[in-house]
Chain A
Amino acid sequence: MKTTLHITAGFAGLAVCLVPILVRAEEPKAAVENAAVKKEAEAKPAQAEPKAVKKEEAKEADENARDAQVNVQMKQWEAQFIQQYRPLLITELNFIRQICDLAPEQRPKIKAAGEASVKDAALKMAELQGGRVRGVRIAKVVQNEQPDPRRMIREALAKVLQETLTPDQMAKYTGEATQRTVRRKRAAIRCVVARLDATLCLAPEQRDKIAASITVGWQDKWELWLMLSSYGDQYFPVVPDQLVASHLNVDQKSVWSGLQKVDFGVSSGGGNADPDDGWWGQEPTKSDGTIQ
């Protein structure tokens, strides 16, 4: 009798001990099942109408908040781009100052147009970046044509110079600006060909042929190749294959195809001597209508 009692007590004890363990062991299974049920419930479209409305409202509020955030960010980008592009304007203003023998009354208008073009370029770039953040679909063509601040500044200045300079001044400016463009192109091409020469051991006639090919196929944006030297010997610009490869032998082609080529994108850089030493003067306010 006592033995039976002991045995019973023993089993009872065992049962008391084992139950929590078994329950615990079942917990992960239960959790998995619960999660599955929950997931299923979430996957189903919201059945209750008010819930859907609330969701819509929340989504809209989210979008508005995100929009506001992007707008703030765009302002910051714009300010950054203005700083980044200003040296480009300084380069151009230095050039105009050196070449055109401007009269004091001609200066403020030119400078103001230049400043406006920097702001314009910065705004366009910030808008493009903002659009990307918002996930706005941008047509492929537009996407490939990033605003070129250098070009925008030069074009704005060319326009104001056309309106402001005397024919004699304009002729001088046009002549020098054309020569400068030729020099830049020559420098960019020489720079790339020299690097190719060092890497591919070109024969002199190969150098000439490649330089000639690039000259014929020249695109203005390749002016950025002038930045090549600051990247050391690691990178090459993206030169269209047909302008180079057709002048190479088999081994040179193999080396050429394996070179790491990078697109230099939008440049900054430019003059660092601020031309605003008072020489450019102040543009008169529109209300007084007089020229300083």
Chain B
Amino acid sequence: MNTGQGNLGRGMKPMRKTSMKQTTRMWLGLFVVLIILSRLAPFAVADEEDDAPAEAAQVNQGFFVQEENFDQWVFQGSGNAAAGRTRIKSSLQVKLAELQRVCNLTDAQSRKLSLAAQGDLKRFFDEVEVVRQKFLKVRNDQNAFNNIWQEIHPLQQQQQAGLFGDTSLFGKTIRKTLTEEQRAKYQSVLEDRRRFRYRAAIDVSLHTLTNTVALRNEQHEAVFKLLAEDTQPPQIFGQYDQYFVFYSLAKLPNAKLKPLFDDRQWKLLQQHLQQGRGMESTLIQQGMIDPPKGRILKSVRTLLLEADGHSEAPAAAKADAAQ
């Protein structure tokens, strides 16, 4: 018993000693760990405090763009998508009304044209929705947002330029649907509009010219007449109209132009003529004039059509050239 107890006792004693030692070590260990933790704790708290805003700043830095802004950018001047849609539809109605007025469209023709226009509308609004979804994903991330802007901007331009131009389904359907007689009538209206706008462009350009080359009234009217009668309007109009007029002026034979100016005026005129000549390649790129024959130079429009994978690009380009 003793042995047993002793053993047990012996066994117990060392066991108790071990247990005591272990407990002491455990407490000491816990103590040390807690001390270390208590020292680390403030830093941990401080780190947490520092990291949280830093992380938040990384995500958006308070950057957030409302969805309304998207609509205002795409539908500039309309304020929201609904108003934008209404305006685009109105501009379609304006075109259809003119076609009706000029060409007396049949019901079938009207339907075809409306359908084509609906296609253009759908294509545009589908694109808007695709870009909108992308926008919604990145509207609180400034870096990603800068990229999405590059997709918003073309929509904005497209909307501003009008969805029913020459390259639209509507434009192509007009060419295919109208009878020859209707086409001639419609063409005459468009030609009249081009001439009217060209005369306005000449007027504005001569105003600019007069700032440097002061012209007497009779000189002004003579130059205006020469330009209006002896030169052709550009194929399309835009912000380079004035350069087109100077280009056209430079193309006129000196024999016709020079007698209209005195020596000083002629000298001052040269800078405008040079400016006009220097713009030739830009005017070609803008689709305002055709490239000189024999040169292979594609218009921006043809390139865009090809890039879009439109197989009828060459045909459209030919049709343009024919117009």
Residue positions of A touching B, CB distance < 8 A: 2, 6, 9-10, 13-14, 16-21, 24-25, 87, 90-91, 94-95, 97-99, 176, 179-180, 183-184, 186-187, 190-191, 193-195, 197-201, 203-204, 207, 226, 228-234, 249, 251-252, 254-255, 258-260, 269-273
Interface-located stretch among B141-149, B200-208, B277-285: B200-208
Contact between A24 and B41 (Cβ–Cβ < 8 Å)? yes
Residues of B within 8 Å of A19, CB to CB, are: 38
Residues of A within 8 Å of B101, CB to CB, are: 203
CB distance from A253 to the nearest CB of B (A): 8
* Max count, chain B CB within 10 A of own CB: residue among A17, A97, A184: A17
Other A-B contacts than A6-B24, A87-B211, 12 sampled, CB-CB below 8 A, are A24-B42, A94-B213, A97-B214, A176-B216, A194-B199, A201-B97, A226-B208, A231-B239, A258-B78, A258-B84, A258-B90, A271-B212
Interface of B is mostly: helix
Contact between A197 and B196 (Cβ–Cβ < 8 Å)? yes
Report 14 cross-chain contacts, Cβ distance below 8 Å, ordered by A residue. A2-B20, A13-B31, A13-B34, A16-B35, A19-B38, A94-B212, A183-B206, A193-B200, A203-B101, A233-B161, A233-B237, A258-B77, A258-B83, A273-B212
Residues of B within 8 Å of A229, CB to CB, are: 201, 204, 239, 241-242
Contact between B212 and A187 (Cβ–Cβ < 8 Å)? no
Count A-B pairs with CB separation below 8 Å. Answer: 165
**Nearest 9 CB-CB pairings of A with B:** A17-B34, A187-B203, A13-B31, A254-B90, A260-B77, A232-B239, A98-B214, A258-B87, A194-B200
Contact between B98 and A201 (Cβ–Cβ < 8 Å)? yes
Interface string of B89-107 (1 = CB under 8 A from A): 0110111011001000000
Residues of A within 8 Å of B27, CB to CB, are: 6, 9-10, 13
Q: Say whether, besides A20-B42, A229-B239, A251 and B203 are in contact (CB < 8 Å).
A: no
Contact between A200 and B200 (Cβ–Cβ < 8 Å)? no
Contact between B31 and A24 (Cβ–Cβ < 8 Å)? no
Question: B76 contacts the other chain (Cβ, under 8 Å)?
Answer: yes
Contact between B37 and A17 (Cβ–Cβ < 8 Å)? yes
Question: B45 contacts the other chain (Cβ, under 8 Å)?
Answer: yes
Question: B274 contacts the other chain (Cβ, under 8 Å)?
Answer: no
The answer for the CA separation of A269 and B97 in the assembled complex, in Å, is 40
Question: B30 contacts the other chain (Cβ, under 8 Å)?
Answer: yes
The interface size of chain B toward A, counting residues with CB under 8 Å, comes to 61
Residues of A within 8 Å of B271, CB to CB, are: 272-273
Question: B238 contacts the other chain (Cβ, under 8 Å)?
Answer: yes
Contact between B242 and A230 (Cβ–Cβ < 8 Å)? yes
CB distance from B158 to the nearest CB of A (A): 12
The answer for the CA separation of A261 and B74 in the assembled complex, in Å, is 16
Question: B231 contacts the other chain (Cβ, under 8 Å)?
Answer: no
Contact between B23 and A20 (Cβ–Cβ < 8 Å)? no
Question: B318 contacts the other chain (Cβ, under 8 Å)?
Answer: no
Residues of A within 8 Å of B235, CB to CB, are: none
Contact between B30 and A10 (Cβ–Cβ < 8 Å)? yes
The answer for the CA separation of A217 and B57 in the assembled complex, in Å, is 55
Task: Name which residue of chain B comes closest to A272, CB basis.
Answer: B212
Residues of B within 8 Å of A16, CB to CB, are: 34-35, 38
Residues of B within 8 Å of A190, CB to CB, are: 196, 199-200, 203
Residues of A within 8 Å of B238, CB to CB, are: 232-233
Task: Name which residue of chain B comes closest to A88, CB basis.
Answer: B211
CB distance from B161 to the nearest CB of A (A): 7
The answer for the CA separation of A232 and B236 in the assembled complex, in Å, is 12
From 29 to 80 in chain B, residues with beta carbon under 8 angstroms from any chain A beta carbon are 30-31, 34-35, 37-39, 41-42, 45, 76-78
